[in-house]
Structure 1
């Protein structure tokens, strides 16, 4: 907004940028020309493509690579070349393309991945060090928010991809490297998703799906499909979201109860979004049964660490909210917020906002405002485009007049947040 203000000699009213990003408002011609000049976009493209079609774009998301090690490395290279420059906040792959990709993943067999290339033999200690860094990266992404963590994750993925391309390794070491690249792709994809960069998220996730396939890790592939399902859910593509979530459950293989419950809840959310009460309730019951079977000695994948009792209640609450059961939603959201550790600031913000929406649906406007105000500092600490948009949606649902002093105070907080 400062760039536009300087070029147009206007005040830097950040509420305008908020409306461009969240309310579908189109900037005026002078503002667009100023933005284009700053981004290096020719004016002829601005006039020819229109808003937002002229925004910088990393090109099409390519998914036609073969389901082989060579195809996986090609997909990772393509992602690393295009994902970071891709600032487009819209999905490029339609739901049908994603479900076809998921179907291919479900049916393809993986091949051996031993490599003897020009580079030196990979040191297993180096692989262990790279793997040991994953918990730290997960914590950083969750604590700092996607916009801040995205570059770090892309750099880590480039390092692992470079090793896969240049080093020699055994089949076992190769699968560990591929598994590592798949998880880094998933994290980078979620960071991009959290930042509102949906095409970049698709790039990371589709290449990560291939890496998980080449590593013969069905559960990890299912987890990436779960992320793609969530993206479709956020965009209102509920049929596609359900197809991807169902494919994840069917293709995960023999997994731990915690992992199974996590995947079932994604499927339940897709059913709830489509208004399928009976199917959703059945899946919720199945997920609850799986959670009751969780044992300390279970060898859960490390990426399931976030899925604890708090997350289980939060996901269950979201299903009830989508099925227009606000009272049940409030009960489960409240339990989730009570159990959730303070370190999960972004998740606390997410479910605080969702709780506010459930209270608003019950007519508890004052409590909804209190919760939304409490969410603002959490979003400030862990910036998230999704949470900022959620807060705007929750504000729009408040059954109160804009002149109400409490609403005016909340509006000021949300404007500062968007800035």
Structure 2
């Protein structure tokens, strides 16, 4: 079941209907018990008045001080807070992973619980904290290097499955894999080297689980995985992997319109990555800093970053030992991200050229990425006045989204449909709307 608004999560957990909530508020305020207003709070984004919020908070045992401090809907108790104050140590990693595993999978929140500034503060701590020794549990069986290598060997398969099947389908498997690795870290004994490899494995699994949750539109779950994965990467001493997780948090801020915070996080990722390969540097520069700069309408900075990233990409295939998680960042992805920068800067012709190149270079099996950039290319055609071809591209993208379900791609398709300058009664628009309705179903 998908419950995107925090109030929907609260109702689900308490077995309340919209009418139940309306009755709770009405009893306390002597107002009307109209369930339609509760429905509007969830679906229209309207905010209850102060009296209604106070009545609901009293029923939920939430202090009024928290209501005023956090605001609507942030104060609703929908799965507990994201703890960002665990120690930057192995013990802190295990506490963070335990907290994530307990709360992330049932978390149905479609909003960010940690705001952009809180994430920037977290990135600052990551930059400043030193790396301590890896501590193993004293109980349990001994874990040796061959077993770790077998666990690591499964990562390429998990990455391919997540990319091919989409986040909503893959996140349960990734959560289970992370739970298994966390259990080993907590209960087994191992050498420092094996412990470091296990921490790196948990960090990458948390990154992938976070990405699949993000793709499914479950933003609080994504933050839970990413913040615990960041600690695991830090404890293992892998600055580049930590930077990649910070980069993901930057993209989340970008998607929520927090462009200044997105840029700050992207800069922190590059600053803290350490010595990295040209492909890794291009990915961190292009994917986050350039896109965040474009979203902030800083043309000169975006163009400078794009040029730097292009120089790095030209050096990417010259024998460097790239991290495995950079494998997706190929020429197709480079063109796609370059296109997005130009689209954000109001350059639809340049964007269209790069999107078309990206789609032409991308393997047919990458349904989700093909859908993303086909939809984005449709938007550039709309911006250039070619609505007919935009509709054609959107229709072509729908089977790709069906093959690899993605809440983000479904939302992109809906946004592209809303930009079409054609009336709803137009036959092509009516057919497109029917196809888009299948995504919601």
Conserved 8 A contact 1:226-1:245: yes
- Residue 293 of structure 1 is matched in structure 2 by 315
Conserved 8 A contact 2:294-2:344: yes
Instruction: From 234, 251, 274, give the equivalent of 1:213.
Output: 234
Conserved 8 A contact 1:342-1:348: yes
The reply on whether 1:396 has 2:418 as its aligned counterpart is yes
1:296-311 alignment, distance < 5 Å: 296-311=318-333
- Residue 268 of structure 1 is matched in structure 2 by 290
The reply on whether 1:167 has 2:181 as its aligned counterpart is no
- Cα deviation for residue 37 of structure 1 reads 7.3
Instruction: From 41, 53, 61, give the equivalent of 2:15.
Output: 41
- Cα deviation for residue 117 of structure 1 reads 1.3
1:231-246 alignment, distance < 5 Å: 231-246=252-267
- Residue 352 of structure 1 is matched in structure 2 by 374
Conserved 8 A contact 2:144-2:194: no
Conserved 8 A contact 1:56-1:88: no
Which region of structure 1 is more displaced relative to structure 2, 213-222 or 293-302? 293-302
- Residue 12 of structure 1 is matched in structure 2 by none
Distance 2:353 2:140 in 1: 57
1:107-146 alignment, distance < 5 Å: 107-146=128-167
- Cα deviation for residue 295 of structure 1 reads 2.2
In structure 2, do the counterparts of structure 1 residues 161 and 378 end up closer, same or farther at CA, with 3 Å as the change threshold?
same
Conserved 8 A contact 1:55-1:88: no
- Cα deviation for residue 41 of structure 1 reads 3.0
Instruction: From 297, 312, 326, give the equivalent of 2:334.
Output: 312
CA RMSD of aligned residues (A): 2.2
Residues 24-79 of structure 1: CA deviation (Å, up to 9, x unaligned) = 9x99xxxx7xx987655345984469544599822111110011110111000000
Instruction: From 148, 153, 156, give the equivalent of 2:174.
Output: 153
- Residue 350 of structure 2 is matched in structure 1 by 328
Distance 1:183 1:135 in 2: 11
In structure 2, do the counterparts of structure 1 residues 248 and 296 end up closer, same or farther at CA, with 3 Å as the change threshold?
same
Distance 1:196 1:357 in 2: 21
Distance 2:295 2:15 in 1: 39
Conserved 8 A contact 2:290-2:302: yes
Distance 1:145 1:214 in 2: 29
Distance 2:256 2:202 in 1: 27
- Residue 78 of structure 1 is matched in structure 2 by 99
Distance 2:341 2:168 in 1: 27
In structure 2, do the counterparts of structure 1 residues 367 and 202 end up closer, same or farther at CA, with 3 Å as the change threshold?
same
Distance 2:144 2:89 in 1: 24
Conserved 8 A contact 2:90-2:135: no
Conserved 8 A contact 1:140-1:149: yes
Which region of structure 1 is more displaced relative to structure 2, 272-281 or 121-130? 121-130
Residues 68-107 of structure 1: CA deviation (Å, up to 9, x unaligned) = 1101110000000000110010000011100000000001
Conserved 8 A contact 2:185-2:195: yes
Distance 1:409 1:275 in 2: 36
- Cα deviation for residue 125 of structure 1 reads 1.5
- Residue 64 of structure 1 is matched in structure 2 by 85
Conserved 8 A contact 1:36-1:46: no
Distance 1:258 1:122 in 2: 33
Instruction: From 351, 376, 383, give the equivalent of 2:398.
Output: 376
Report the secondary structure of 1:372's partner residue.
helix
- Cα deviation for residue 418 of structure 1 reads 1.1
Distance 1:336 1:59 in 2: 41
The gaps in structure 2 that reach 5 residues or longer are 26-37, 43-72
Residues 365-414 of structure 1: CA deviation (Å, up to 9, x unaligned) = 01100000000000000000000000000000011111111111001100
TM-score (norm 2): 0.85
The gaps in structure 1 that reach 5 residues or longer are 2-16
Conserved 8 A contact 1:56-1:87: no
Report the secondary structure of 2:138's partner residue.
coil
The reply on whether 1:101 has 2:122 as its aligned counterpart is yes
Report the secondary structure of 1:57's partner residue.
coil
- Cα deviation for residue 170 of structure 1 reads 1.2
